[in-house]
């Protein structure tokens, strides 16, 4: 790139490179697959109801108020739908309901739903580059952006319209803005601090109290360890206006985050379980999740629960984790020892990761993705180690490299043996069947002598990790430290591209009901042919029918539904088909109309 008077500065070029890489990973084919059950269509339906009801303050789901999650994701999703004109049609009260047409299930809907989340993921990667490049080096900034964006945790959740990516992206960006304000002597501290308050306020609107709690705990630990309490003023907790000290920074945070929470806390409406927002959100979904476990498929769990998930979620970058730990231990804590901004950033990221890990490990409610907030600081630590390795002889880091190679072998072998671990990073039910047979049919492979070449997940992951390990060994033997870093970075990038562009798309039809509803819309001969969901609560049936699906949990109601004149349709889990046939009786004709989803059948019932 030219470096003349009109050329972008190195910082701008690096920023464009980081954001461009993230966009390359997250945006292609973003709308090509249906929304994954149950969380994506659940939140998307809340957003659709906002547009239908023209009420953007009180979230609504199916037939009652929805209080389980804050409002930022529905706002973002509703904005995407409104911008692209997706799923906007509504019915006046009392009108005859009409299901969507096949054109209403176009990829535009998924694109509109997911795009705001992907853009926030790109924003966080850009802020990571800016922060690390200011406090360490531009090379470290690029490595940190690459490491964050290419972890399977980050790359796959950037394609999911759930609350986790907005929360973590905004939390990461806000925390790092505070880091610049506190640690960079060249920074315009007021601007960075105010940006941090705004970003953390939106993180609080994305997930709740953790939006500011994690950042606050990490900085409290940092100030305690470093003893730099005199720098607390750089966070603009209070500023002098004339002769009066005013808490302008906290006031800015509250001005963004508090109004919606206050309005909902005063709202007297109740959800489908008869709970007000104040009880449901703050007591049930915060305190009870932490203390007794709420609505989780993996309750309890010991301290090592998330070690496994971090291994899978970081994938190739686990090879740099031992070195990252060494980087943390090497950081100088005391100012008189020559502590640098790089040391201070290292300490913050280490404390940030520890706080997140401890808090999530203590929680009685556990899902694999709960450890996601620890991924960005760990990725930054890995990048700081690799930045050092770029300049120093590999022999100086032999123990860390050997431990990293061992971690790479263990994680790579596990993922190649069981790619389902990657899916489990962001799904709800870990017992849901993995589409082994369907994926095998897509990738039969090509035999070349004794070798079988395939684009199946097992073959690709095995090839990538084995190649990375061999390349790293050769680079070490030849003392090619930059080739060592390059091998790891190339493996991580190739893995993320494969997972984002190919594997995610192949898996999606088995975790989404979009194709099932497309088959229903294509198979019906009249809009008067109704569709029901038998013993289901997977959310997708509600969103893709625009809340017109008939939910049936009782065999007698199923018989009454089937006895109606004309043709009827039912979505049912495969494991419940026999029970449904038994409830209907042998005289009722039942035909499986679509079996493309390994979880559900679309069934046609005629008289």
Give pTM, 2 decimals.
0.94
Residues 422-444: tens digit of each pLDDT: 999 999 889 999 999 999 999 98
Residues 191-235: tens digit of each pLDDT: 999 999 999 999 999 999 999 999 999 999 999 999 999 999 999
Average pLDDT over residues 130-141: 97
Average pLDDT over residues 238-251: 88
Q: Say how far residue 118 (Cα) sits from the centre of its chain.
A: 9
* Conformational region of residue 174, where left means phi above 0, alpha means psi within -120 to 50, and beta covers everything else: alpha
List Cα–Cα distances, 249 to 72, 206, 209, in angstroms: 21, 20, 18
* 3-state SS class at 165: helix
Considering only residues 105 and 151, tell me which one the structure prediction assigns the higher pLDDT: 151
Give percent helix, percent strand, percent coil of the chain, each to the nearest 5.
Answer: 65, 5, 30
Considering only residues 359 and 291, tell me which one the structure prediction assigns the higher pLDDT: 359
Q: Which residues on neighbouring strands pair with residue 603, listed in sequence order?
A: 570, 592
> Lowest-confidence range among 89-98, 449-458, 550-559?
89-98
pLDDT above 90 covers a percentage of the chain that reads 77
* DSSP 8-class letter at 8: P
Give the pLDDT band (50/70/90) at residue 594: very high
Q: How many CB atoms lie within 10 A of CB 269?
A: 12
Look at the alpha carbons of 25, 31, 33, 36 in this order and tell me if their dihedral is positive or negative: positive
Q: How far apart are CA 72 and CA 200, in angstroms?
A: 12
Exposure b/e, 234-257, CB count within 10 A at least 16 = b: bbbebeeeeeeeeebbeebbbebb
Q: Say how far residue 556 (Cα) sits from the centre of its chain.
A: 40
> Lowest-confidence range among 88-92, 105-109, 388-392?
88-92
* 3-state SS class at 245: strand
The domain ranges of the chain are 514-605
Q: Return the pLDDT at 107.
A: 62
In this structure, are residues 349 and 380 in contact, taking their beta carbons and an 8 Å threshold?
yes
Q: How far apart are CA 120 and CA 165, in angstroms?
A: 8
């Amino acid at each position: 790139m030219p470096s003349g008077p009109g050329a972008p500065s190195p910082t701008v070029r690096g920023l464009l490179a980081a954001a461009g890489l993230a966009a390359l990973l997250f945006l292609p084919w973003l709308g090509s697959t249906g929304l994954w059950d149950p969380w994506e269509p659940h939140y998307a339906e809340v957003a659709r109801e906002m547009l239908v009801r023209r009420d953007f303050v009180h979230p609504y789901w199916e037939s009652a108020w929805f209080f389980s999650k804050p409002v930022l994701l529905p706002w973002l999703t509703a904005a995407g739908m409104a911008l692209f004109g997706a799923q906007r049609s509504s019915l006046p009260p009392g009108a005859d309901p009409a299901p969507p047409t096949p054109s209403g299930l176009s990829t535009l809907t998924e694109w509109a739903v997911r795009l705001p989340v992907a853009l926030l993921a790109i924003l966080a990667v850009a802020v990571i580059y800016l922060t690390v490049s200011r406090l360490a080096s531009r090379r470290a900034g690029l490595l940190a952006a690459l490491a964050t964006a290419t972890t399977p945790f980050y790359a796959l959740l950037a394609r999911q319209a759930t609350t986790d990516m907005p929360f973590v992206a905004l939390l990461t960006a806000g925390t790092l803005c505070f880091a610049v304000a506190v640690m960079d002597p060249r920074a315009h501290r007021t601007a960075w601090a105010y940006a941090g308050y705004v970003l953390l306020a939106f993180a609080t609107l994305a997930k709740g109290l953790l939006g500011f709690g994690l950042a606050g705990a990490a900085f409290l630990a940092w100030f305690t360890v470093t003893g730099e309490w005199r720098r607390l003023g750089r966070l603009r907790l209070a500023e002098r206006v004339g002769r009066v000290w005013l808490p302008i920074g906290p006031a800015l945070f509250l001005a963004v985050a508090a109004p919606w929470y206050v309005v909902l806390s005063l709202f007297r409406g109740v959800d489908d379980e008869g709970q007000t927002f104040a009880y449901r959100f703050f007591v049930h979904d915060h305190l009870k999740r932490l203390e007794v476990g709420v609505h989780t498929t993996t309750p309890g769990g010991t301290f090592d629960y998330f070690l496994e998930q971090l291994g899978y979620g970081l994938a190739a970058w686990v090879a740099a984790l031992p070195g990252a730990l060494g980087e943390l231990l090497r950081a100088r804590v005391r100012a008189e020892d020559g502590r640098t901004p790089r040391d201070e950033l290292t300490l913050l990221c280490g404390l940030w990761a520890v706080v997140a890990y401890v808090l999530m490990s203590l929680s009685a409610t556990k899902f694999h993705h709960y450890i996601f907030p620890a991924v960005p600081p760990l990725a930054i630590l890995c990048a700081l180690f690799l930045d050092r390795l770029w300049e120093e002889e590999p022999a100086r880091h032999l123990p860390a490299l050997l431990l990293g190679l061992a971690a790479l072998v263990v994680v790579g072998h596990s993922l190649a043996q069981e790619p389902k671990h990657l899916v489990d990073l962001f799904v709800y039910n870990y017992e849901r069947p993995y589409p082994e047979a369907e994926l095998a049919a897509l990738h039969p492979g090509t035999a070349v002598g004794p070798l079988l070449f395939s684009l199946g997940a097992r073959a690709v992951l095995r090839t990538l990790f084995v190649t990375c390990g061999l390349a790293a060994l050769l680079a070490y033997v030849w003392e090619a430290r930059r080739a060592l870093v390059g091998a790891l970075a190339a493996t991580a990038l190739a893995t993320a591209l494969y997972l984002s562009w190919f594997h995610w798309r192949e898996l999606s039809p088995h975790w989404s009901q979009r194709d099932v509803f497309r088959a229903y819309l294509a198979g019906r001969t009249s809009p008067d042919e109704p569709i029901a969901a038998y013993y289901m609560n997977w959310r997708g049936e509600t969103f893709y029918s625009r809340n017109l699906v008939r939910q049936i949990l009782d065999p007698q109601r199923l018989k009454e539904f089937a006895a109606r004149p004309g043709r009827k349709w039912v979505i049912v889990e495969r494991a419940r088909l026999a029970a449904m046939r038994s409830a209907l009786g042998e005289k009722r004709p039942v035909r499986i109309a679509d079996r493309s989803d390994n979880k559900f059948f679309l069934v046609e019932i005629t008289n």
